[in-house]
Amino acid sequence: APAIAQSNPKITWRLTSSFPKSLDTIYGGAEDIAKHVAAATDGNFTIQPFAAAEIVPGMQAADAVSNSTVEMCHTCSYYFVGKDPTFAIGTAIPFGLNARLSNAWFYQGNGNTLLNEFYAKHNIYGLPAGNTGAQMGGWFRKEINTVDDFKGVKMRIAGIAGRVLEKLGAVPQQIAGGDIYPALEKGTIDAAEWVGPYDDNKLGFAKVAKYYYYPAFWEGGPTIHAFINLEKWNSLPKAYQAALTDACAFANTNMMAKYDSKNPMAIKQIVSQGTTLRPFSQDILEACYNASLEVYKDISSKNADFKKIYEDQVSFKKEGYLWMQLSEYTFDTFMMIQQRNGKL
């Protein structure tokens, strides 16, 4: 019947990922989206994923969506903080939300609505489409016991987190990707952060830096986004919009699931190579926390969008972390004791 034909038009989109295929877990999110959309629409709406640089370089993905070079991309919002710091909140800001609360804020709080009001200014519609969970704080050649130990530490760390550590005296050096490993090996830089055990292990950082610090307080539960060209999104039939929304939600959950199932083995592999695990001390975290608040105050005074969305997230965070203490934290703590006592 013609009515059906009209509501199920053949549509083909390109998706440019900001990630290489070697980051299989994150890149896999784009493949999840494509598969689920095709299945949900009987193959009428197809999305062809491309790895970073196949169409545009990873860091240019938002530009490509914004000017409709491609219909959508799979990326981290915070790659684009240079355009507007507000982009950072979409992924993660230092001492932001964990993965659970991130999803709560996006799906049930104002997160998605507020960010999409902002993204619309860049001709983008955004949907959460992946999460890595709390990341690791990175690889250090020397111990970081006190706040002062950060002074002069040359670290490869990007974005707002770099600004925060700079306040503590660290030296952010965003050297070329291919140079990270040899530079860390020989001490040209003292530290580098990447993702978490599964991805870090593939690059073999355990061979070149002794200390593996945690957590990445700048990435407590970073969300990976699907950015869709706003007009293309609006022109989609409602059924396809729903299919795409669901597919992104699935990719969001599935990526987190992959990381949570792969990281435990990976961390064992890393430790078996002689790596020393270290938490950042509470003093360090507090100093960083205070430095972050200064940074947020500074940005908020200059950027109304940032201020509005940041404040909404903070008020959500206040309530969220009250509830987390009563629920997961207590339960998890008990279970962790059982784990440590070998009773699981």
Residues that bind Na ion (CB under 5 A): 135, 193, 219
Ranked by CB distance to Na ion, the top (closest) residue is 135
User: 281 is in the binding site of which of other proteins, Na ion, none (Cβ under 5 to 8 A by kind)?
Assistant: other proteins
Nearer to other proteins, 39 or 265 (CB): 265
Its sign, for the CA torsion 222, 270, 183, 141, is positive
Please identify which residue in 120, 329, 331, 335 interacts with other proteins, judged by CB under 8 A.
329
Judged by CB under 8 A, the number of residues near other proteins is 86
310's CB contacts (< 8 A; 6+ apart) are 89, 93, 296, 299, 300
272's CB contacts (< 8 A; 6+ apart) are none
Nearer to other proteins, 179 or 242 (CB): 179
Please identify which residue in 6, 42, 177, 302 interacts with other proteins, judged by CB under 8 A.
177
Looking at residue 107, the DSSP 8-state letter turns out to be: I
* Rounded least distance, CB 193 to Na ion, Å: 5
Its sign, for the CA torsion 102, 107, 113, 118, is positive
Give the distance, in angstroms, between the CA of residue 190 and the centroid of all CA atoms in the same chain.
Answer: 23
CB-CB neighbours of 64 under 10 Å: 21
> φ, ψ for residue 216 (rounded to 5)?
-80, 95
SS3 191: strand
Nearer to other proteins, 32 or 199 (CB): 199
* Rounded least distance, CB 37 to other proteins, Å: 18
User: 158 is in the binding site of which of other proteins, Na ion, none (Cβ under 5 to 8 A by kind)?
Assistant: other proteins
Nearer to other proteins, 165 or 249 (CB): 165
User: Should residue 30 be labelled a site residue for other proteins when binding is judged by CB under 8 A?
Assistant: no
Nearer to other proteins, 87 or 240 (CB): 87
Q: Structure tokens of 114? A: 């507020």
Strands 154-156 and 191-192: parallel
- What Cα–Cα distance (Å) separates residue 146 from each residue in 149, 168, 192? 5, 11, 18
Quote the CA–CA distance of 228 and 74 in Å, as a whole number.
Answer: 9
* Rounded least distance, CB 161 to other proteins, Å: 8
* Rounded least distance, CB 161 to Na ion, Å: 8
User: 135 is in the binding site of which of Na ion, other proteins, none (Cβ under 5 to 8 A by kind)?
Assistant: Na ion
Quote the CA–CA distance of 233 and 192 in Å, as a whole number.
Answer: 37
User: Should residue 31 be labelled a site residue for other proteins when binding is judged by CB under 8 A?
Assistant: no
Binding mask 180-209 vs other proteins (x if CB under 8 A, - otherwise)?
xxxx-xxxx--------------xx-xxx-
Residue ranges in 287-326 that form contacts with other proteins under rule CB under 8 A: 325
Percent helix, strand, coil in the chain (nearest 5)?
Answer: 55, 15, 30
User: Should residue 84 be labelled a site residue for other proteins when binding is judged by CB under 8 A?
Assistant: yes
Residue ranges in 92-151 that form contacts with other proteins under rule CB under 8 A: 143, 145, 151
Nearer to other proteins, 59 or 314 (CB): 59
Nearer to other proteins, 291 or 309 (CB): 291
Residue ranges in 247-266 that form contacts with other proteins under rule CB under 8 A: 265
98's CB contacts (< 8 A; 6+ apart) are 133, 134, 220, 221, 324
Residue ranges in 154-173 that form contacts with other proteins under rule CB under 8 A: 154, 158-160, 162-163, 165-166, 171-173
Nearer to other proteins, 108 or 145 (CB): 145
Torsion, Cα 27 31 37 43, to 10 degrees, reads: 150
